[in-house]
Amino acid sequence: MTSDDVAAANRTVYKVLEETAAAYPERAALHQPTGGGKYRSWTWREYRDSVQQIAVGLREIGVSLADIVALQSETRAEFYLADMGVMAAGAIAAALYTSLPFGDQAGTLRACGARVVLVENAKAMNALQNAAGDAPLDVQWVLLTGDPKGVVTNSEGVMTLEHLRSLGERRLREDRGAFDRIRAEVCPDTTAVLYMTSGATGEPKMGLVTHRALVSNMDHAPFVLPLTPEDVTIAFLPSAHIAQRVVVQLVPVRQGSEVWFSEGVSKLPTEIRSIRPTFFLAPPRVWERVYSTISTEIRKRPAALRKLFYLGLGAGSRANALRLTGQPVPAWLRTSLRFFDRVVFRKIRERLGGRIRIAASGAAPLGKELAEFYAAIGMPLIEGYGLTEGGVAALNPLDRPKSGSIGKLLPGVEARLADDGELMLRSPCLFSGYYNDPESTAAVLRDGWLYTGDIAEVDAEDYWYITGRKKELIVSSNGKKIYPARIENLFKRESLINQVLLIGDRMPYVTALFTVNGSPDETRKAVEQAVKDVNRQLASFEQIRKFKVLEHDFSIEKGELTPTMKIRRTKVLENYRSLVKEMYMGKDID
């Protein structure tokens, strides 16, 4: 390790913000919509100063080193300021999943022992207080937006973020060394974040991550995600999710890139066209919807235009296949692509602002065919791999992404496969353990290696692939092993299909539950055709023999989805047990 490596490792998250503010003090950092197409903006200097003031303000109201401070808010500028302020104060920032029922959120606040809750607005605070029932939450409430007067039933013990910041500002005027003394207490090994795991394969847990681990992940950015102060992105994913927290909050701090905040998913298409991001991270569902919209529109166009589109798509796919194998693209094909790009593909990319140079898919696996579509139109989706316990660990190279792959390991990340194919990771970005749960920690952290629970494989060029979850492995009654995630991903290009769940553990054949865009009766034939198309790509023991189309999507409210939209298989099987029994001629499932 060089002296530069040692210096880089001995930094806190606040120190990285300070470095960027010193380099670009008057450049824009954050833009928060205020309504009517207007925004409030912060420069990097203002960002740094606000974080200092919030950190001192937290100490003024009694927050100490290593106290847990919860944040309950949609992703917005005030969340970034508060989150960074909590970490700068040496406290532990615990972001809640706002999509969960308020009762579950209140339960999380009790479980993590939060001293202070930074909540988006009075409405959310009142809902949390009501959900707490007869045992009130013993916390200091801080509203990120709005004013408690007139909207809070009992405004005692409630303050605003602006009031908190002003407390810190006043203390700093009186005592210029107040923040310096706080930062002297915070070291790289201080815990910075408490992540809530989604609980896809069991009860949710809370993972602790140090400043050192976060900064190590941030420092990967110049090597694999070379953003600059000229780059612009839009933040809209939940801030409790690691993909949003690291890639769209912390990496821009490291690289000095601008972040614009969305007013909501319904306004995102308009915002993308007006803000014109150069870097954009979205989950597969967003990329699927864009593809679905394009496919629907193309089907309505005259035959000549449809033929032109599909010819162009074929040419783009051929060129992409050549690039992936390291072969040159012939001159005639390059000429064709320039034509198709001018008359077809450029118009599609303009829907996404027309300036995206890095399009990334995260938070869930991306279907291979969907990735190939975007590569063919000249906007390859960069897919990576990360998890609460291990940070962001892999990313596809920007110049040569492979469809269906999570890419190559980031610098300093080591990986190996256990005897059963489970992916194991070792890196400076690993979490410290689960909060108050040494038994679960010992189960996943062994001898410095993180056992991820994901089944993986690696090709000859060191590109890694996730083939399934260890706990979701289907073993049929004849002993055949089936990885449901791989098969479920094959349906992601079907615009009519929303969700799919494979079933078949200890059963003689595989079945599936589908949710769709439209009514089950109207879409039955289309789903049947999709099943036939996918079955042709599978071994006989993997093929879907029977299926059911459900009336409604799986939902968070029914416990069928995690906050990150992963399917909770056990809960779905419990809710649709009778339908599943029908597909196995009355035989019950365990």
Three-state SS annotation for 504-541: CCCCCCEEEEEEECCCHHHHHHHHHHHHHHHHCCCCHH
CA 485 – CA 547 distance, rounded (Å):
17
Are the beta carbons of 97 and 64 closer than 8 angstroms? Answer: no
Instruction: Report the length, in residues, of the chain.
Output: 590
- pLDDT level of residue 587 (50, 70, 90 thresholds): low
Name 561's bridge partners.
567
CA 199 – CA 566 distance, rounded (Å):
9
Using DSSP's 3-state secondary structure scheme, residue 571 falls into helix
Tokens of 402: 């492979």
pLDDT at 589 over 90: no
Strand positions, DSSP E, 198-346:
206-210, 232-235, 258-261, 279-282
CA 72 – CA 54 distance, rounded (Å):
17
Rg, Å, the chain Cα set? 25
- pLDDT level of residue 588 (50, 70, 90 thresholds): low
Are the beta carbons of 319 and 337 closer than 8 angstroms? Answer: yes
pLDDT of 537 reads: 87
Q: How do residues 468-498 score in pLDDT, each as one tens digit?
A: 778 777 887 777 778 788 888 888 777 788 8
3-state secondary structure 45-108: HHHHHHHHHHHHHHHHCCCCCCCEEEEECCCCHHHHHHHHHHHHCCCEEEECCCCCCHHHHHHH
User: Which stretch of 140-154, 213-227, 348-362, 376-390 has the lowest confidence by average pLDDT?
Assistant: 140-154
Strand positions, DSSP E, 388-507:
391-395, 408-409, 414-417, 422-426, 433-434, 445-446, 449-458, 464-469, 474-475, 481-482, 497-503
pLDDT of 201 reads: 47
User: Which stretch of 63-67, 187-191, 203-207, 377-381 has the lowest confidence by average pLDDT?
Assistant: 203-207
Tell me which residue of 392, 395, 393 sits closest to 407, measured CA to CA. Answer: 395
Tokens of 187: 């070291």
Angle at 377 between CA 373 and CA 379, to 5 degrees: 90
Question: What are the C-alpha distances in Å from 195 to residues 109, 243, 435, 563?
Answer: 13, 12, 9, 13
User: Which stretch of 181-190, 451-460, 492-501 has the lowest confidence by average pLDDT?
Assistant: 492-501
End-to-end CA distance of the chain: 52
pLDDT of 9 reads: 60
Q: How do residues 413-432 score in pLDDT, each as one tens digit?
A: 999 999 988 999 999 999 99
- pLDDT level of residue 590 (50, 70, 90 thresholds): low
CA 84 – CA 50 distance, rounded (Å):
9
| Residue 350 CB partners (closer than 8 Å, separation 6+) | 273
Tell me which residue of 489, 569, 479 sits closest to 537, measured CA to CA. Answer: 489
Q: Which amino acid is at 507?
A: M
**Domains in the chain, please, with CATH?**
10-186 (3.40.50.980), 283-379 (no CATH), 473-583 (3.30.300.30)
Order of strands across the sheet with 544-549? 497-503, 510-516, 544-549
Average pLDDT, the chain: 89
Question: What are the C-alpha distances in Å from 333 to residues 316, 328, 413?
Answer: 9, 10, 38
Global confidence as pTM: 0.85
CA 245 – CA 242 distance, rounded (Å):
5
pLDDT of 203 reads: 63
| Residue 412 CB partners (closer than 8 Å, separation 6+) | 216, 220, 427, 428
CA torsion, ordered 284, 554, 572, 562, to nearest 10 deg: 60
CA 199 – CA 469 distance, rounded (Å):
13
Q: How do residues 315-367 score in pLDDT, each as one tens digit?
A: 988 988 888 888 898 999 999 989 998 988 888 888 889 899 999 987 677 77
Q: Are strands 279-282 and 358-361 parallel, antiparallel or unpaired?
A: parallel
- pLDDT level of residue 4 (50, 70, 90 thresholds): very low
pLDDT at 7 over 70: no
Are the beta carbons of 81 and 175 closer than 8 angstroms? Answer: no
User: Which stretch of 4-13, 86-95, 333-342, 355-364 has the lowest confidence by average pLDDT?
Assistant: 4-13
| Residue 300 CB partners (closer than 8 Å, separation 6+) | none
Helix (H) or strand (E) holding 550: none
pLDDT at 559 over 90: no
Q: Which amino acid is at 171?
A: R
Q: Is 365 exposed, middle or buried (0-12, 13-18, 19+ CB in 10 A)?
A: buried
Using DSSP's 3-state secondary structure scheme, residue 360 falls into strand
DSSP state of 280: E
Q: Are strands 358-361 and 481-482 parallel, antiparallel or unpaired?
A: unpaired
CA 73 – CA 253 distance, rounded (Å):
20
pLDDT at 1 over 50: no
pLDDT of 571 reads: 86
Tell me which residue of 299, 283, 430, 431 sits closest to 370, measured CA to CA. Answer: 283
Tokens of 342: 């001018």
Tokens of 505: 């553990």
